[in-house]
């Protein structure tokens, strides 16, 4: 499925409160769903800078958005300050971060994100990056792997799973997603509602893409780029991300740099979740620069 349904679109648009002649940064442009809605609100003098670290996503977004008011650039959002300065977006009116992977990335089995994939373990959002999930699974030390599963997957059975991985890879490398899913399932030895490999895959994806470092640095960069009255909106999809966003915004509010736009995170309605399962765990938080 190429079509990506933007999550919490109405709520994001209300929170961003796009000004006709404003400058906006969509720091995770993906397939351009949110960007398209922002563009609709922008007048002829408004401008949008769209970033993503996946060039395949940017190619698709450019077909969808192709417009003289948009500039698209391959950049990891932790590095957005330099790009924004070069493109004259240093004083902007709003920034959106819609975290995680897109449906396009997840469902393209060759990208190796899904435990159903028979392809090589990969999970790189930026295919130009050197280290993939294969490297972590086959080359990382036992202690590092265990820490990754515990920290990023909040996986209670981290030790048991990692022991099994290490025993398996001594015989032969674990090459495909499906192979890793089987190893994890065998270590679990029981099945619940969710696939036993869900947490392991989430943890590896976060580690491979350095998602927590990206988020910490991206939030700070974004806050620094907003003019007074400019708004930062962040959509997160798991508790580690949401905790980081919450703490960052609360801290900035306490120190008098921003005003929180909602005390509690905004979640998708039951109706939206039914229509778009990707919205199930989404949480939206926002703040305004003072
Ligand atoms: C959930 S999708 C965004 C979907 C988009 N809002 C839409 O409506 O089509 C997340 C996108 O962010 C990108 N991404 C994730 N982390 C990133 C980072 N640190 N820097 C730049 N792009 C990132 C992914 O490659 C993916 O394309």
287: CB partners within 8 A, 6+ apart: 231, 232, 249, 252, 253, 258, 259, 260, 261
116: CB partners within 8 A, 6+ apart: 109, 177, 178, 181
Beta strands in the chain (DSSP E): 23-26, 47-52, 70-74, 92-98, 226-236, 258-260, 266-267, 283-289
225: CB partners within 8 A, 6+ apart: 25, 80, 81, 84, 89, 90, 91, 92, 95
237 lines ligand 1 (CB under 6 A): no
54 lines ligand 1 (CB under 6 A): yes
Question: Which residue, judged by its Cα, is nearest atom 27 of ligand 1?
Answer: 30
Q: How far is the CA of 171 from the centre of ligand 1 (A)?
A: 37
Beta-ladder partners of 258: 289
Beta-ladder partners of 231: 94, 288
Domain 9-104+211-289 has CATH 3.20.20.70: no
How far is CA 285 from its chain centroid? 14
32 lines ligand 1 (CB under 6 A): yes
Name the average pLDDT for the chain. 95
Same topology for domains 9-104+211-289 and 130-208, yes or no?
no
pLDDT for position 266: 98
Atom of ligand 1 nearest to the CA of 4: 9
Task: Show pLDDT as tens, one digit a residue, over the chain (290 residues).
Answer: 345 789 999 999 999 999 999 999 999 999 999 999 999 999 999 999 999 999 999 999 999 998 889 999 999 999 999 999 999 999 999 999 999 999 899 899 999 999 889 999 999 999 999 999 999 999 999 999 999 999 999 999 999 999 999 999 999 999 999 999 999 999 987 677 889 999 999 999 999 999 999 999 999 999 999 999 999 999 999 999 999 999 999 999 999 999 999 989 999 999 999 999 889 999 999 999 99
| Domain residue ranges of the chain, discontinuous segments joined by + | 9-104+211-289, 130-208
Which listed CATH number (3.40.120.10, 3.40.50.1380, 3.30.590.20, 1.10.150.170) goes with 130-208?
1.10.150.170
Q: For residues 29 and 44, give the distance between their C-alpha atoms in angstroms, rounded to a whole number.
A: 20
């Amino acid at each position: 499925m190429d079509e990506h349904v933007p999550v919490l679109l109405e709520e994001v648009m209300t929170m961003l409160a796009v000004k006709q002649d404003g400058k906006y940064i969509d720091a995770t442009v993906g397939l351009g769903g949110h960007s398209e809605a922002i563009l609709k609100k922008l007048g002829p003098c408004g401008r949008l800078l769209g970033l993503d670290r996946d060039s395949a996503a940017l190619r698709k977004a450019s077909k969808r958005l192709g417009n003289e008011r948009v500039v698209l650039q391959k950049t990891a959002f932790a590095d957005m300050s330099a790009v924004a300065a070069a493109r004259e977006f240093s004083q902007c009116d709003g920034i959106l971060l819609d975290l995680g992977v897109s449906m396009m990335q997840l469902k393209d089995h060759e990208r190796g994100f899904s435990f159903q994939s028979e392809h090589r373990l990969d999970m790189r959002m930026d295919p130009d990056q050197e280290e993939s999930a294969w490297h972590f699974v086959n080359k990382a030390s036992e202690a590092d792997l265990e820490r990754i599963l515990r920290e990023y997957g909040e996986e209670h059975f981290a030790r048991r799973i990692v022991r099994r991985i290490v025993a398996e890879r001594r015989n032969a490398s674990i090459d495909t997603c499906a192979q890793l899913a089987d190893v994890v399932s065998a270590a679990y030895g029981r099945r619940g509602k969710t696939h036993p490999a869900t947490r392991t895959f989430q943890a590896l994806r976060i580690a491979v893409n350095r998602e927590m470092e990206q988020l910490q640095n991206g939030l700070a960069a974004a806050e620094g780029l907003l003019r007074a009255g400019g708004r930062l909106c962040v959509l997160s999809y798991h508790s580690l991300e949401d905790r980081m966003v919450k703490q960052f915004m609360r801290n900035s509010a306490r120190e008098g740099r921003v005003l929180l736009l909602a005390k509690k995170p905004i979640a998708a309605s039951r109706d939206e979740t039914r229509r778009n399962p990707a919205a199930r765990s989404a949480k939206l938080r926002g703040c305004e620069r003072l």
